[in-house]
Structure 1
Amino acid sequence: MSCAVTDLSGFLADHPSVIRVALTRVRGSSPRNAGTEMIVSPGALWGTIGGGQLEHIAIDAARAMLRDGALQRELDLPLGPEIGQCCGGRVELRLTRMRASDKRAALDRAQADAAALPHVYVLGAGHVGRALAQQFQHLPVQCILIDTRPEELALNTAQVETRLRVLPEADIWQAPAGSAFVVLTHDHALDFLLTSAALERGDAAYVGMIGSATKRAKFKRWARTHCDGQSIDGLTCPIGATESRDKRPAVIAAFVVAEVMARLTAETAATASCEALKTPMSGNKPGLEGRLA
């Protein structure tokens, strides 16, 4: 069971009376997309619908339902000066008191979401690899930390999957389409082998190899000679390249994680933008008081 599902299960067990707040429709700019949900108890929260005044209004409405015994409520809110926000969009919310069946359905959704998360393979459990795992564990990905050295894997404390492998390239071959691969082993020859395997797939969302411009040039020559002229156009090397010269593992990892997540979420962002363009705002809406009734 994933950490997210475990957390939700614990929350529902600790808070028997809860309201599910779901974004059912989004038009224009909004902090979160349609389908996002948050669960509200009298004194705690699980999840978020974007924060700000929108979330405060939803929380107040949900807790009023818990006090009053209400079962369901609909809200239609402009994300503008009426509620102290400036996103410019509009959202519709459905607030529902959760029965046992609703809680089971929420856990099923969380499990399905966890299973659908993109895979990030960190190939090398040295200082930077472990720093990457520490950061990826908090993000919506399935992070797998792989190494040939048991002593390095034993130093990992992140809540990610770890794999001790003699042939880590086998994990690359078996990875789902759209996975990300970050190669940073203790051996340059192994780095070249694993990077070549990741590029050969042709369907990776991200392939990165730690190193310098010189290492990239050496890998290009190696791939041309040993991999039938393999192109390295899809390779990111150096990884996490910025103006920063800070070489501490946690700092390097932060830049690499940002790079990987930008690549993994690019399609999601493009889809959300297209959906927003399909749903223009309407000016013929009732006042705020009517929408909160």
Structure 2
Amino acid sequence: MLDRAALARALAQVPRVVRVVVADTRGSVPREVGAAMIVGPAGLLDGTIGGGTLEHEAIRRAQGLRADQLDRRALGPDLGQCCGGAVTLLYEIWDATRLEALQGDLHARPLPDSTPEMPFAVKRLLAEARAQGTPPEAQMREGWMIEPLARAARPLWVWGAGHVGRAIVATLAPLPGIEVTWVDTARDRFPEQIPEGVTMLPAADPALLVPHVPVTGEHLILTYSHALDLALCDALLRRGFAACGLIGSASKWARFRKRLAALGHEPARIAGISCPIGQPSFGKHPQEIAVGVAAEILGQTARQDAKRGRTA
């Protein structure tokens, strides 16, 4: 998907970038059609098209680009890679003016040296996609490139910047489609370097932020304090959420269920909080917890995409 936010972040650093997108593939290749990276004058700024030598050569080519180009490469004969397939890469120069002109939920444009008049097959594809409410897959069709724009990011609030919080944020921050807000009680509880795209939010009393979070938000509660964890669970149950996870053992969750019930919450509502988080079978190391949490989130995304496909 074409990520407008990633382009905006890149153009905030430099006035001109090249977006390199996998436009077509044949045989065994490192990445799928639609995979993209953004290259600035000094090198890679965001994303990956995979493939080692393929990506290295594409970055070098992008840095010297003066006009949009289409480049077809056989990975074995041209680059000495073992994949054996072929990749068509589309290089596009982006600046603030081009980004501002990007509207809607689909981006269809002629490939370099193709006719500027939209073919009937492309018109039909776009009309069907809009009628069904389901974006088409990224693809080349009759000399045009078609890409859906990335959906609005899922708001994910991570409450706590301890070892587990740091591991989870470091794991989730690079994933597309997730917008992380990271909360703890003081600035010095966060690492010096905050991952790109993550909003850091120090708050002396984090529970006071809850009335202002989106009810569509997803939450991971993993602070240093059981009292603060409980206050956040209570506040989020009153506010509402799309999903909520609490770090802890079975005994901790049993105590919390009793205390939340005493605070007036119905058992069915309390059951909306998941505890423990991640995949307990992976282990208790912060990185193991982070991998389990990421697997759950990616699984939810895959199930939602499959459901959209069945109902389209």
SS of residue matched to 2:91:
strand
Question: Relative contact order, CA 8 A, sep 6+: which one is greater?
Answer: 1
What is the TM-score of this pair, normalised by structure 2?
A: 0.58
**CA–CA separation in structure 1 for the residues paired with 2:179 and 2:232:** 19
1:101 aligns with 2:138: no
* Equivalent position amino acid for 2:36 in 1: E
What secondary structure is seen at the aligned counterpart in 1 of 2:19?
strand
2:138 matched to which residue of 1? none
Distance 2:252 2:48 in 1: 44
1:51 deviates by: 0.8
Q: Hey, what does 1:156 align to over in structure 2?
A: 190
Q: 1:213 deviation in Å?
A: 0.8
Q: How does 1:1-293 map to 2 (within 5 A)?
A: 5-6=8-9, 8-10=11-13, 12-13=14-15, 19-24=18-23, 35-40=34-39, 44-52=43-51, 55-56=54-55, 59=58, 62=61, 66=65, 71-75=67-71, 84-85=82-83, 93-98=89-94, 101-102=97-98, 116-130=152-166, 132-133=168-169, 136=172, 138-140=174-176, 141-147=178-184, 149-150=185-186, 153-157=187-191, 158-159=193-194, 160-166=199-205, 168-199=206-237, 203-205=241-243, 207-231=244-268, 232-243=270-281, 251-252=285-286, 254-270=287-303
Deviations 1:238-292 (A, max 9, x none): 234434665xxxx32x233333333433354356678999xxxxxxxxxxxxxxx
Cα distance in 2 between the residues matched to 1:260 and 1:73: 40
8 Å Cα contact 2:39-2:59 kept in structure 1: no
Q: Give the unaligned 5+ runs of structure 1.
A: 278-293
C-alpha distance in structure 1 between counterparts of 2:72 and 2:237, whole Å: 47
How far apart are the structure 2 equivalents of 1:195 and 1:23? 44
Q: Partner of 2:189: helix, strand, or coil?
A: coil
Query: Is the partner of 1:259 in helix, strand or coil?
Result: helix
Q: Indicate how the Cα distance of structure 1 residues 102 and 33 shifts in structure 2: closer, same or farther if over 3 A, else same.
A: farther
1:52 CA drift (Å): 0.8
Identity over aligned pairs, percent: 29
Shift of 1:121: 2.0
| CA distance in 2: counterparts of 1:99 and 1:26, whole angstroms | 27
CA contact (8 A) 2:22 2:88 kept: yes
Higher-strand-fraction structure: 2
TM-score, structure 1 normalization: 0.61
Output the aligned Cα RMSD: 4.7
**Residues 267, 73 of structure 1: alpha-carbon distance in 2 compared, 3 angstrom cutoff:** farther
Are the aligned partners of 2:7 and 2:38 in contact in 1 as well (CA < 8 Å)?
no
